[in-house]
Amino acid sequence: MIRTIEWNGDAVVMLDQRRLPAEEVYVTCRDYREVAEAIRTMVIRGAPAIGVAAAMGVALGMRQADPSRLDEEFEEVCRTLAATRPTAVNLFWAIERMRRVYQSARGITLGNIQATLLETALKMWEEDIQVNQLIGWNGAELLASGMTVLTHCNAGALATAGYGTALGVVRAAVAAGKKIEVFADETRPFLQGARLTAWELMKDGIPVTIITDNMAGHFLKSGRIGCVIVGADRITANGDVANKIGTYSLAVLARENQVPFYVAAPISTIDLSLASGEEIPIEERPAEEVTHVFGVRIAPEGVAVRNPAFDVTPHRYVTAIITERGVARPPYAESLAQLAG
């Protein structure tokens, strides 16, 4: 199994996703600030993986906290980790879960608080893999043998503690004996599709073909694609879905061509506190990600750039949302409340 993130006994170790597929190197984060920096700079990325990293970051931070000002340090650790990436709700979900554990552990010895926090973070790592396997199991039923699945970004093992959400559905279908092929959008500007989705599917021997993002319409129209499956960074109460920039265009193209558009995500990605996608904060990333490719400038110096990392797909384009508790169908206001409430 791909080792996206691990606890090595006294530090958090992450596979450096900025350097894949050329190099398979690991980054060791020895304090919570290094964990926050790794999330911000996308050493680790993907909503569920970001959540697990943040939980481990909190546990690491509290192992090194000054015992005389524990509460203040806890808040400082949470604040630093929460300030890294605003869109993926799993980050805040994980921090909140750690906060509840910290608050209920107050009053026991410092050593026990630290042990409980670490135990919780490790449990979240383990649960994430189990949840993804259930998502895969639930989603596999939607795939027929011989189907080609189009995906965007990387919602695979690398985006989670393991197995993946969208790619978990593909893995489960393949494990059930179905013949499945994947088309992967390269996913400008960070190239998660070309670099990460292609790398992890090839490692598993699952047939994968890379296309550039602007080829998706052509292949959806050609009849070559059986369905689209993507992950999510946040799903609001009405079923609107924030995911990697370009997902919205794919959803519209899928609808135009009567191709089912599925979203695979854990319950922890559903944010019932927001009524619609308009309320989701969209991260804007540095211009250099657009103007440069691997350090080489491709756009004129001084040009204006926009780089929103995510877009919101309105729920009307979403055929179904695959979770570990079952498959939600429209109307999402009811089905999601039932699954996640």
Choice between 50 and 101, CB closer to ligand MRU: 50
Residues 219-238 vs ligand MRU: string with x where CB under 6 A? -----------xxxx-----
DSSP strand E in the chain: where?
A: 5-7, 12-15, 26-29, 148-151, 181-185, 208-211, 227-230, 234-236, 241-244, 261-264, 270-271, 292-293, 296-297, 310-313, 320-323, 326-328
Is residue 84 a contact residue for ligand MRU (CB under 6 A)?
A: no
Choice between 77 and 167, CB closer to ligand MRU: 167
Of 62-70, 95-103, 134-142, 158-166, the window that binds ligand MRU (rule: CB under 6 A) is 158-166
Grouping H, G, I as helix, E, B as strand and the rest as coil, residue 67 is helix
Q: Are 194 and 161 in contact (CB under 8 A)?
A: no
Residue 326 CB coordination number (10 Å): 13
Q: Least Å distance between CB 214 and ligand MRU?
A: 18
Of 1-9, 39-47, 215-223, 295-303, the window that binds ligand MRU (rule: CB under 6 A) is 39-47
233 is catalytic: yes
Among positions 97-126, residues that touch ligand MRU (CB under 6 A) are none
Judged on CB neighbours under 10 Å (0-12, 13-18, 19+), 298 is exposed
> CA-CA distance, 12 to 7, in Å (whole number)?
5
Among 35, 45, 94, 95, binds ligand MRU (CB under 6 A): 45
Among positions 247-306, residues that touch ligand MRU (CB under 6 A) are none
Indicate which residue of 128, 185, 233, 271 is catalytic: 233
Q: Least Å distance between CB 161 and ligand MRU?
A: 10
Instruction: Tell me the number of residues near ligand MRU by CB under 6 A.
Output: 18
Among 116, 138, 160, 323, binds ligand MRU (CB under 6 A): 160
Q: In the structure encoding, which two tokens stand for residue 267, read together? A: 């319950």
Cis status, amide bond into 189, omega within 30 of 0: yes
Choice between 153 and 170, CB closer to ligand MRU: 153
Q: Which run of H or of E encompasses 289?
A: helix 288-291
Q: Are 220 and 257 in contact (CB under 8 A)?
A: yes
Choice between 18 and 63, CB closer to ligand MRU: 18
Among positions 309-328, residues that touch ligand MRU (CB under 6 A) are 309
76 phi and psi, to 5 degrees?
-65, -40
* Residue 187, phi-psi category: left (phi > 0), alpha (psi -120 to 50), beta (remainder): left
Choice between 155 and 340, CB closer to ligand MRU: 155
Choice between 165 and 291, CB closer to ligand MRU: 165
The closest residue (CB) to ligand MRU is: 231
Q: Which residues bind ligand MRU (CB under 6 A)?
A: 45-48, 88, 153, 155, 159-160, 165, 192, 230-233, 243-244, 309
Catalytically active residues are 233
